[in-house]
Amino acid sequence: MIFGYLLILSVVGGGLFALIIIIGVALFDIQKIRKQRVVNRHPYRRRYRERPLVSVLVMATSNQQAMKDCLVSLVKSKYKKIEIIIVDTLPRSKVRRLVEEYVQAGLTERIVTFTTKRSEGMAVVAAYRRHGNGEIITIIDGVSVVEPHIFNRIVWEFNADQRIRAVGINDQLIPSMSSIRILQTYENFFRKLSSKTKSAFNISHATPHVNIAYRKDALLTSTFGHKQHRTAYASDAILYRDAASSLYTSLSERLHWQRITINNLIAHRSHFFTLDTNYSKFATWVYLPFTIYLGLVALLLPLLLGYFIYLVVEVRQPLLFILSWVVLGIFLLFAVWSDEHLGRRRKLIYSILLPTAFVAAYLLSLLQLFATVGVIASLRRHH
């Protein structure tokens, strides 16, 4: 009986989540069109022509080839007013030697390395304070390859609205047909929809965070949900990265993201149900509580899915299973076909592969369960 009530609650929560996402994506598209219209009225206004220095903080990776590809893409960027700071938190890293090779070869003189044993968030802030001079700070992962015009588009977002404090970057997976990477691709579609929704409802990103660009003042202070401090998602500012090659690597990534989510909720605990009129009610009364609710449902999802399959078999109603797959499939189709940077051929391929979505949801829910338990255990050890 308890599982029955939990299953109903999860279905209702999933429906609300889908509704919020659809509304958020629609609002995002409307806001983007309006912003472009404002810029088109006065395209040569001084603030649209500003070209501030951009500090690019690259989180070092042990994959030397990926690190080289990342640096090559940064050096070839069309936006020339950048400085590159590699944040090296890895033990026995060879990143400094790699940077020295680039400088000696005359490829660039704009790269410096900051080595520290601090956590990622503290390391980013310390690296910027030590070496950074930019008005805009962009944090990327060392396994990423940036599109040549990415910084032009990030700067455009900041210039278009002076209230914007953070800009999300479109994180594209390199196409692949391996099973684990297809699973991650579907997840990435959802992440993009979530980024657009957060931008539409002005829900700020965690600070600091990879694949986000910040104004100088926003890197050091949280502006979560503040009405005067907006966030944006630059869907045309693209970087590419390879998907995880195994379930173990995928679990490691999920541990990292889940740790950020939980730390972010702890950091913003004072904003829950706040009556302060300076903060968005959607962020403090809907988003924060709903995030906890979805997290709890995700923990129980493997059990709930198993119970649902048991009910379908027990009552001999395969129509229930078919109906649930159709609903999930429709939402996935929306996620796939709303991606403006995916070619029609790829969209068609991912649409044909939708029958695997139910299995993918179960595997992802298991990974989510392991990741959450792992993060909670590590937090308890630290305290």
pLDDT surpassing 70 at residue 293: yes
**What global pTM score does this model have?**
0.83
pLDDT mean over 241-248: 72
Whether 236 is in a domain gets the answer yes
In this structure, are 201 and 161 located in the same domain? yes
Band (pLDDT 50/70/90 cuts) for residue 237 is very high
**Which of 18-32, 123-137, 275-289 is least confident?**
275-289
Residue 106 CB coordination number (10 Å): 7
Whether 293 is in a domain gets the answer yes
Q: Please report, rounded to a whole number, the percentage of residues in the chain having pLDDT higher than 90.
A: 15
- How do residues 143-168 score in pLDDT, each as one tens digit? 899 999 999 999 999 998 888 888 99
In this structure, are 82 and 186 located in the same domain? yes
In this structure, are 218 and 328 located in the same domain? no
In this structure, are 87 and 214 located in the same domain? yes
Question: Phi/psi of residue 137, each to 5°?
Answer: -115, 120
Whether 262 is in a domain gets the answer no
- Specify the DSSP class assigned to residue 279: B
Per-residue burial over 41-55, b if 16 or more Cβ lie within 10 Å, else e, is eeeeeeeeeeeeebb
Mean pLDDT of the chain: 79
User: Which residue bears the tokens 């600091």?
Assistant: 208
Show the domain range for 204: 46-246
Whether 370 is in a domain gets the answer yes
Whether 255 is in a domain gets the answer no
In this structure, are 227 and 366 located in the same domain? no
- 292 compared with 82, residue with greater pLDDT: 82
Cα–Cα dist 376/51, whole Å? 43
pLDDT at 111: 78
CATH number at residue 133: 3.90.550.10
pLDDT mean over 249-269: 72
Whether 32 is in a domain gets the answer no
**Does residue 133 contact residue 198 with C-beta atoms inside 8 Å?**
no
pLDDT surpassing 60 at residue 371: yes
In this structure, are 242 and 147 located in the same domain? yes
pLDDT at 205: 55
Per-residue burial over 369-380, b if 16 or more Cβ lie within 10 Å, else e, is bbbbebbeeeee
In this structure, are 241 and 285 located in the same domain? no
Whether 323 is in a domain gets the answer yes
pLDDT at 135: 93
In this structure, are 59 and 180 located in the same domain? yes
pLDDT at 379: 58
In this structure, are 372 and 290 located in the same domain? yes
In this structure, are 296 and 373 located in the same domain? yes
Whether 264 is in a domain gets the answer no
pLDDT at 147: 94
In the chain, the number of structural domains is: 2
